[in-house]
Structures are given as C-alpha cells and as structure tokens.
Amino acid sequence: LMEKEEEAGPVLPKIDISRIPPERLPPRGTVFDDLPADASTPPSIPQEEAPVAVSATVADAKKPSLEDRLAAVADPEKAAPAKGRKRATRERKSKIVSDDDDDDTPKKKKAPAKKKSTPRKKAELVPAALPDDLPADINFSVGDSVLVNTGIIVHDRLKYHTVNHMFPVGYKYRCKFTCVKHPKEKHMYTSEIFECGDLPLFRVTCECDPSQSWTTTSASSSWSQVLKTLNALIANPRQTCSIQGTRYFGLTEPDVRKKLEALPGANKLANYVRDADREAPDES
C-alpha cells in the first residue's frame, strides 16, 4: 500500500471552492502539471498570510532608519512629514514662549495711553469800576512813599480783610523799587486794590512804563511777578522771587494803618484786630 501511495504522488488537501471568488478560479480543464512537490495549494489559489507576519512587516515599514533619525535631529521641519510640519513649528514657538516665561527679569508694562486734556483757560481778572463815593486823594507822605487814597472799607465780604490787614477798595499807594525798564535805577510803582466780586484784586504798575502791569488776587503774588520780570533782565538774578507784598502796598506802615482804622466800617470787620487791641509784648 505504501508503494502504491508513493507511485500515486502526494495527496493534496481538500480546498473549499465556495470561499474562493469566482474571478480567481482557474478555467475548467486546467491541469496543474508543474505543481511543486512541497506545495500544499495550487499557485493560482492565494493563501491567507499569517497575521503575525503582516504586523511585523508593517512595524518594520514604520520604523525609521538611522539616517532618518539623524536628519530629524539636524532639521526637524524637513524630516517631519508635510502634515506634521505645522505642528512641529507650533511646538517650537510654544517652547520659546515658555522659555521667556521662565525668565525672572521683570517685564515693563505698557502704560495706558493718556488722554489729552485740554488746558483750562484761566478766568480773566477784570476789576469792577471804582465806587462813586470814593474819597478824594490825600497824598499822605510816608517817607519816600506816598499814600494816595485810603479807599472804602468792605465789611460784608470776608476776603477783603484778614486778622492783620484791611484791603479797602480804591486804595492806592506809591513806592520806589527797581525799574523793569531801567534795571540799574529805582522808579516809582503804583499799588492799587480793586473790587472783583468776593475777591479783591491787587495791581502793581511801573510808572515809567504803564504797559508793565501785574494783577493777581494777593499783594505778594503781584509783587512776585515784578521780581520775576526783573530776574529775566539782570545778569545776577535773585535766588528767590518771594517778597512781602503787603509791605510794598504800605499796609504794614503804622501811619497808614491808623488812617485805615479810622475809616467808616472798619469797626465792623469780623476778623481784623486793631493795633491798640493787640497784646503788648512782654518786656520782662
């Protein structure tokens, strides 16, 4: 029996034809004379590949070679596939940003844009007209100075007097001071007090040049403007422009104060203290 089987050739396994697509079947009458001795199936019938072999082949295909890995280190953008280049670029930029965030150096914050503020126009100091009942000029001499007019006491507005001084409307006083037109000489200046609502106005005018005039809301401020003008003209200006304006208005002169204290309404001033009522200095 064994000899008969060897003469008959190897026994081929049975093939389930129902599993083979019709287009893959050989035409009828085909004779497989050249079938290899070790073949288990005809060459025209595909055999199912083992899944393990297929997965290994795919893994080998996806595994980069050494040259590819070296190229990726040298230039990541060229080595990366087309779809992954944008992602690699984004990752590199995010890494740069994160490195900047780790820096301990303080970052300057942008200051908010400042709104352009329109400068406010200063209210013009316009003195009121002198009252009709203004007393006549007395031209009272006080040394080199002259008290031209005592003016009228304003007792119903607190800004027209302080504890130490009275500011009568229409008051006029003349004194000598360095001239703004001829800085090496001294000329007469006229100091006047005007009415401007609830505030008195103090005006100083250089008599040799009436265009040089300064009007403010305080005696010291008006005379400070005179000093600033002189400092711009002389070679060695003063270090400061502070000045006691009430002195150059004559309001500190004892004879002038007596004249003012004798005016009608002087006793109605709420805050002013007369020189006679002031405490005498302790001589002990």
Mean local confidence (pLDDT), 39-43: 49
Mean of pLDDT over the chain: 77
Q: What is the pLDDT of residue 125?
A: 79
pLDDT at 50: 46
Summarised one tens digit per residue, pLDDT across range 82-119 is: 555 667 667 666 665 555 555 555 556 666 776 666 66
Q: Which amino acid is at 264?
A: P
pLDDT in tens, 117-143: 666 666 677 899 999 999 999 999 999
Helices marked H in the chain — which ranges? 2-8, 51-62, 66-74, 76-79, 82-101, 219-231, 245-248, 254-261
Name the nearest CA neighbour of 248 among 199, 204, 184, 200.
204
The bridge status of strand 186-196 relative to strand 199-206 is antiparallel
**What is the DSSP track for 217-282?**
SSHHHHHHHHHHHHHTTSSS--S-----HHHHTTTT-HHHHHHHHTSTTGGG-SS---TTTSPPP-
CA distance 10 to 278: 149
> How many degrees, rounded to 5, is the angle at CA 63 between CA 61 and CA 67?
110
The CA angle 102-108-114, to the nearest 5 degrees, is 150
Q: What pLDDT, on a 0 to 100 scale, did the predictor assign at position 54?
A: 47
The arrangement of strands across the sheet holding 186-196 comes to 140-142, 145-149, 172-178, 186-196, 199-206, 213-216
Residue-wise pLDDT for 194-226, tens only, equals 999 999 999 999 999 999 999 999 999 999 999
Structure confidence at residue 284 (pLDDT): 41
DSSP state at residue 163: S
The predicted pLDDT at position 12 comes to 58
pLDDT score of 233? 84
Average pLDDT, integer, range 268-277: 93
pLDDT of residue 192: 98
Contact predicate 226/237, CB 8 Å = no
Q: What is the pTM of this model?
A: 0.56
Greatest mean pLDDT among 9-13, 23-27, 64-68, 266-270 lies in 266-270
Residue 232 pLDDT: 87
d(C-alpha 252, C-alpha 258), whole Å: 10
Distance between CA atoms of 156 and 69, rounded to whole angstroms?
Answer: 99
